[in-house]
Amino acid sequence: MLMKNRGKSFTGILIISLFLSITLHAQDAGKKKLTAWPVEGKIDLNGILDEPEWYKAPHATNFIQRELHEGEPATEKTEVAVLYDKKNLYIGAWCFDSQPDKIIANRMKRDFEYEADDNFKVIFDTYGDNRTAYLFITNPNAARFDAMISHFGESYNVNWDGVWNVKTTKTDEGWFVEMEIPLSTLRFKKGEKQEWGINFERVIQRKREEDLWEGWSRDGTFTMVSRAGKLTGLSGLNKISLVELKPYGIAGVGFAKDENPKILGNIGGDINYLITPTLKLNITLNTDFAQVESDRMQVNLTRFSLYYPEKREFFLEGKNYYNFGLGHRMQPFYSRRIGLAEDHSVIPIIAGARVMGKAGKTSIGAMSIQTAKKDTIPTVNYSVLRVKQDVLKESSVGFIAISKLEPGRENYTYGADFTYFTSHFSKGKNVAVGGAVAQTYTSDKEQKTGTAGKIYVDYPNDFIDFYATWEYSSFGFNPEVGYQRRTNYQMYNADMRIMPRIAKIGLVKKFNFKPFDFNYFIDNATHKMQSLWSEFRLLGFETKSGEEFEFNLQRKAENLTRPFEIHDGVVIEPGEYWFTDWELQFSTFDGRKLYGGLFVNRGGFYNGNQTITGTQLALQPNRFLKLSGHYARHAISLPAGAFTVHEFSGRIDFALSPDLFGSSLIQWNNEEDAVLINFRVNWIPKPGTNLYFVVNQGYDTENKTFVSKYTTVQLKLIWRFVL
């Protein structure tokens, strides 16, 4: 009955929302337009912008502040021009600065932390769908960051690495950008004449200033391409074809305790082919992930499973095509299930194929992977098909189908979802309403099928940010190629933030109050509370200089139906437990040479108490080096026993140039009694080609000793050929 009533309510909300969308007038009128300029000669990529075409081309000017003073002209002049030839797009940016000695540029490696530096961004909506886009960012050091944007600007696939290049120069007039983006890096619709969405943003960090060419409302974001301007003048781009070969080779040696050294070697690679200008076929053979950074060590003090993010480039490149509307607690497709055992050991991938891209208004992600037999684990085929159709101005509907097939056993997940979204609701506000439903089938389970679903409403805006959702998972829901933190539950959530800006308080950029934020879980088996987490923010603010502060009160509850061993020999008995915490968070602006943060949470914990203290500190003396460390301490006292958990991680990031950089990561905690060290160097001799040098070491620290468990040293070369 509960689901039936909620279904009627949800249908009503959807009908009202669709009506509002249809009655709103078109938003394209009045948007800024920039004409791309064709070039016949060669553009010398050096950051100087001295070719005559840069001055013949129309320039984007008149940038407007989003921060700190919304709607006011930018305090420093910025101009941008776009050129193109048969193979490349070129973006030139003149970032004039009256105080060039105060420009902030501390990062230089690929996929740098751009939020802390002066930077320039360009975004392309090549499909013209107001939903998906390509984002490119650089800073005065010519560092590169790129991402695939989806879900109306809210979802970033930062692990998408396009093939492109950029050079910059700095003078007493400011800093200047020259980007070269091969057309083969982008996907766009067929047509002799193209019109894309485009926008530019410049950030001046010492002023905390964000200047946009178009769409500078604080209720939007730069990545919300429905608010972008238009790029016109592109023609003759429909003949782009690409066959890309990316073979790899690995050589190395591995040492393990009480074992003879092993010679490591492997070969394989990928073949990429553009079926159409907007659809790419990828075939992978003997896929390898030797260059992947180690997982972060986590200590689990809950009764639910931990989540580890995907780090393998093959699965990260097009992950946005497989996103589904059930949310992060129930992911029908979780790529870490492929090629990794439960103990995180590697299962070889024999081969795989996938198709990703867009055909008209339809986004497609299809993939099939075959893994090898290893020990008692049989060979398995994993397949997924995700299709999403654009509807209305900014909305979508879609479905997903996933299978895991092994000898004598089958597991399937299938479902449908929809999102209604508008970025022009009532004076340019954002509103989203959505939902999803999925079912699983497992051939050898007594309860062969199960269902899960979600309904949500979202109002993500500058002054008021509100989100509410209801989700459920039945007893038989079993997505074996997915992830779910809990099973057989219902969850109610509502979260509201009020963020006023008070001009009279000069040091504060904006406040952040939270009247309520709660997650209430019900156990479907007992129909009783399973968990409650709620938070009330008494005070939160961000300063104009970049500092952030929060003071929160939290009310929590857990209802245990069976004993829970939280630590060796420390058992919490069944029962209902309520406790209250207070929490303090503070961090300084990470654009400084020295910055850090502090986290303190203290209060009840089941029938005892807990104090969590965390601190982080980072030093970046120059653009070549950054040192950082993080320490967390969990002190828990319960009637059954008291214990303390210590976690430490330290990191060294270095960059000799934007194409030669690396890192060293060391981790330790007293629960694992282990130290893990990961050292990586990445050299990019040319865009798309990578050479990696990787060392992984593990040490046993039990009984206060420091004993080597394993060491692997590997060299991996990935070379890119275009036919």
Judge residue 26's burial from the number of C-beta atoms within 10 Å of its C-beta, 0-12 exposed, 13-18 middle, 19 or more buried: exposed
pLDDT confidence tier of residue 299, bands split at 50, 70 and 90: confident
Kind of pairing, strands 243-256 and 229-235? unpaired
- The closest alpha carbon to 338, from 379, 304, 391, belongs to 379
606-610 average pLDDT score: 95
10-23 average pLDDT score: 39
Share of the chain above pLDDT 90, in %: 68
Low-confidence winner among 3-12, 297-306, 466-475 (lowest mean pLDDT) = 3-12
Per-domain boundaries in the chain:
31-235
Low-confidence winner among 98-102, 191-195, 271-275 (lowest mean pLDDT) = 191-195
User: Within a 13 Å sphere around the CA of 253, how many CA atoms are in the beta-carbon half?
Assistant: 4
484-492 average pLDDT score: 93
Given a cut of 90, is residue 413 above it in pLDDT?
Answer: yes
Q: Which pLDDT does position 8 carry in this prediction?
A: 39
Position 657: which residue type?
S
412-436 average pLDDT score: 92
Report the C-alpha gap between 45 and 177 in whole angstroms. Answer: 10
706 or 28, greater pLDDT: 706
pLDDT confidence tier of residue 29, bands split at 50, 70 and 90: low
Q: Which pLDDT does position 257 carry in this prediction?
A: 83
Structure-token match 């007594």, residue found: 446
Q: Residues 100, 241: contact at Cβ < 8 Å?
A: no
Given a cut of 70, is residue 24 above it in pLDDT?
Answer: no
pLDDT confidence tier of residue 152, bands split at 50, 70 and 90: confident
Given a cut of 70, is residue 28 above it in pLDDT?
Answer: no
pLDDT confidence tier of residue 5, bands split at 50, 70 and 90: very low
Kind of pairing, strands 575-587 and 594-605? antiparallel
Given a cut of 50, is residue 27 above it in pLDDT?
Answer: no
Q: Which pLDDT does position 7 carry in this prediction?
A: 40
Report the C-alpha gap between 573 and 576 in whole angstroms. Answer: 10
Give 82-128 pLDDT, tens digit per residue. Answer: 999 988 999 999 999 999 999 999 999 888 999 999 999 999 999 88
Q: Which pLDDT does position 86 carry in this prediction?
A: 87
Low-confidence winner among 17-31, 69-83, 448-462, 650-664 (lowest mean pLDDT) = 17-31
Q: Which pLDDT does position 23 carry in this prediction?
A: 36
What tokens were used for 633? 């301490």
Report how far apart, in Å, the C-alpha atoms of 621 and of each of 113, 328, 617, 625, 653 are. Answer: 15, 37, 13, 7, 12
Given a cut of 50, is residue 293 above it in pLDDT?
Answer: yes
Q: Which pLDDT does position 20 carry in this prediction?
A: 40
Q: Dump the DSSP string for 158-191.
A: TT-----EEEEEEETTEEEEEEEEEGGGS-----
pLDDT confidence tier of residue 635, bands split at 50, 70 and 90: very high
Domain 31-235 annotated CATH 2.120.10.30 = no
Q: Which pLDDT does position 237 carry in this prediction?
A: 78
Cis peptide before 627 (omega within 30 of 0): no
Beta bridge partners of 589: none
Report the C-alpha gap between 80 and 124 in whole angstroms. Answer: 14
What tokens were used for 226? 């429905």
pLDDT confidence tier of residue 608, bands split at 50, 70 and 90: very high
416 or 313, greater pLDDT: 416
Q: Residues 456, 445: contact at Cβ < 8 Å?
A: no
Report the C-alpha gap between 78 and 72 in whole angstroms. Answer: 14
Please state, as a whole number, how many other Cβ atoms lie within 10 Å of the Cβ of residue 717: 15
Report how far apart, in Å, the C-alpha atoms of 67 and of each of 58, 212, 222, 609, 691 are. Answer: 26, 10, 12, 42, 40
pLDDT confidence tier of residue 22, bands split at 50, 70 and 90: very low
Rounded to two decimals, the pTM is: 0.86
Q: Which residues of 105-116 are buried (b: 16+ CB within 10 A; e: fewer)?
A: bbbbbbbbbbeb
631-641 average pLDDT score: 95
Q: Which pLDDT does position 85 carry in this prediction?
A: 92
Report the C-alpha gap between 443 and 408 in whole angstroms. Answer: 9
Average pLDDT score over the chain: 90
Q: Dump the DSSP string for 513-559.
A: EEEEEEEEEEETTTTEEEEEEEEEEEEEEEETTS-EEEEEEEEEEEE
Q: Which pLDDT does position 276 carry in this prediction?
A: 81
322-343 average pLDDT score: 88
424 or 97, greater pLDDT: 97
H helices then E strands: how many in the chain? 3, 44
pLDDT confidence tier of residue 247, bands split at 50, 70 and 90: very high
pLDDT confidence tier of residue 241, bands split at 50, 70 and 90: low
Given a cut of 90, is residue 687 above it in pLDDT?
Answer: no
Mean pLDDT is highest, among 270-284, 573-587, 695-709, for 573-587
pLDDT confidence tier of residue 18, bands split at 50, 70 and 90: very low
- In sequence order, what are the residues at sequence separation of 6 or more whose Cβ sits closer than 8 angstroms to the Cβ of residue 446? none
pLDDT confidence tier of residue 490, bands split at 50, 70 and 90: very high
Kind of pairing, strands 174-182 and 165-171? antiparallel
